[in-house]
Structure 1
Amino acid sequence: MLTARDIMTTDVETVAPDDDVAEVLTRLAQAKFNGYPVTDGDELVGIVTQGDLVDLFQPSDRTLWIPVGFPPFLESLTYGIDLSWDNLDVGLDMVRNSGKSISDVMTADVVTVAPDDDIDRVLDLLADRERDINRLPVVEDSEARSASDSRTQSGDGRVVGIIARQDTLRALRDERLETAG
């Protein structure tokens, strides 16, 4: 059976907790993925995603909510329209958030897997609708844990790889092609 080690990417780009939000957003805009594990030295301390950073640059106070329907609008649809998303606002948001560190916006409660976890565990985590995970850091713990242990806390260990949803799909496809051929 396939394990996390078989499908993970070992060349993992990370950011540090004290990295500047604007710097990380710029790096992410040029990357082919949507998030970074946050490490302090070798230790995983969080994860920051595109969604975490975009939320800083589209605050809800600029949204005009328009009820559509007949008064008194009790059962009507509501549409949100962003009134001011332009270059000036992006610049103002960058100035307002400059100096803010990744530790201020990252998720500290990270879902991870171990290198020897089987593909079923990986699939269960990536298919979990509640968590909506796109990338799973693969960490090596200093203490041995079983694959059924819950790994959802920062400080789990050293990042040795990462698994994206597409990595899992590609591995399953390749395994099927091997068994069919």
Structure 2
Amino acid sequence: MITARELMTADVTCVRASDTVMDAARAMARLGVGSLPIRGEDDTLKGMLTDRDIVVKVLAEGKDPVAMHAGELAQGDAVTVGVDDDVEAVLSAMAEHNVRRVPVLDGDDLVGIIAQADVARALPDRPVGDLLKAISTD
């Protein structure tokens, strides 16, 4: 049984809730990623910030990315999986919530992130195809 621990990328860069959206955008560009977990000042996961969030909720609405904080874009609870969850639980969470990346928690600690590409590398074609179909509805 493959677990989230085996699928995840452990080296996760986060943005602080108090960081500006511009800082987050620059970090995404530097790292070549499309999303970053948002950590609160207490180090707990507050949500995920995506490049799409920045474009749609900040730039398209004429808001200032230098004045706006990443934490303002954290909406509700982030979809997460546990470090020991099996691959079926990971696939289910991604498909059910229509997300391409899911943070991995060990208790309350963020220990990794699983992207659609991580799943694609680890699994046979059929489950990957089903996942892609489920999360590519928009």
CA shift, 1:120, in A, is 0.3
CA shift, 1:106, in A, is 2.1
Cα deviations by residue, 1:108-161 (Å, 9 ceiling, x for unpaired):
310100111000011112223xx32111100111xxxxxxxxxxxxxxx11011
Residues matched between the structures, number: 123
Q: Name the counterpart of 2:99.
A: 133
Aligned identity (percent) is 34
Pick which of 24-33 and 115-124 moved more. Answer: 24-33
CA shift, 1:42, in A, is 3.2
Q: CA RMSD in A?
A: 1.9
Contact 2:81/2:93 (CA < 8 Å) preserved in 1? no
Please tell me the residue identity of whatever aligns with 1:161.
G
Q: Name the counterpart of 1:168.
A: 119
Contact 2:46/2:74 (CA < 8 Å) preserved in 1? no
TM-score (norm 1): 0.62
Contact 1:12/1:161 (CA < 8 Å) preserved in 2? yes
Please say if 1:17 is aligned against 2:17: yes
1:23-38 aligned within 5 A: 23-38=23-38
Q: Distance in 2 between matches of 1:167 and 1:139?
A: 16
Which has more radius of gyration? 1
Give the structure with the higher percent helix: 2
Q: Name the counterpart of 1:49.
A: 50
Q: Name the counterpart of 1:99.
A: 67
Please say if 1:158 is aligned against 2:109: yes
Unaligned residue ranges in structure 1 (runs of 5+): 60-92, 142-156, 174-181
SS in 2 for 1:161: strand
Q: Name the counterpart of 1:151.
A: none
